[in-house]
Amino acid sequence: MSPEIRWDDETFVAKLRAVGTARYHHLHPFHLRMNAGQLTPEEIRRWVANRFYYQRNIPIKDAAIISNCPVREVRRIWLHRISDHDGFDGNEGGIGAWLTLGEASGLTQDELLDERHVLPGVRFAVDAYVTLARTKPWPIAVASSLTELFAPDLMRDRIAAFEKYYTWIPEYGLAYFRSRVPQARTDSDQGLALTLRYCDTLAMQEEAVRALSTKCDILWSILDAMETAVTDTDE
């Protein structure tokens, strides 16, 4: 019996990267305005508050992936992502760093934690991502996380924009962005290696590409909700 036709690793990686090149949210008008220094303090705070809902759900998403994965080696590789965001041993992790960003931008922790500023569209999109992680085969959920392939460049651009245009936010508020540049590179390397290893049929490869595309749609929808809220407020 001849082996099943599937993409070689180079082709598979190229198809995954093509999704990000065309569909990652660095191309969204809201991000373009952010990087051009065109957001008002109110718009920055709206983004911080709504993005926090995504941040606090990342470890829940990762726990769902682990709960669906029967492979001990993979669970051990993936486990650090939860503590990276939730923190451990006195380190407040990514969620703590985002709370600090909120404080630096003029939001209280209570405002972020009680979700009073979270828009319905943002909540719907983030919850859809958690549902994807809970319901899809774990290798497909891992593949959906590969937006991390494109995160380091986005973070560097964001840091430069905040340092240039949003100087009213103290330097300490940018700690999350700085930590994510190397962290996202490590995470994406791990996620890509697992995707290449366990998405080992053409059907799985194709589903992995679709899952990454869906994740890009989710991130885009989060910004759509915020952009619409800005427009409604301005009108």
| Segment 164-169 mean pLDDT | 98
For 91, the 3-state DSSP assignment is strand
Is 107 a residue whose pLDDT tops 80?
yes
Phi then psi for 231, rounded to 5 degrees?
-60, -45
Residue 234 pLDDT level (bands cut at 50, 70, 90): very low
CA distance 150 to 211: 16
Residue 232 pLDDT level (bands cut at 50, 70, 90): low
Residue 3 pLDDT level (bands cut at 50, 70, 90): low
How far is CA 16 from each of CA 20, 22, 33, rounded to the nearest angstrom?
7, 10, 26
pLDDT digits (tens, 9 = 90+) for 193-205: 999 999 999 999 9
* Predicted TM-score (pTM) of this structure: 0.93
Helices (H), 79-135: 80-86, 93-105, 109-113, 120-135
How far is CA 76 from each of CA 29, 48, 62, 66, 88, rounded to the nearest angstrom?
38, 31, 12, 9, 16
- Three-class SS string for 152-214? HHHHHHHHHHHHHHCCCCCHHHHHHHHHHHHHHHHHHHHHHHHHHHHCCCHHHHHHHHHHHHH
Under CATH, which architecture does the 9-234 domain have?
Up-down Bundle (1.20)
Is 1 a residue whose pLDDT tops 50?
no
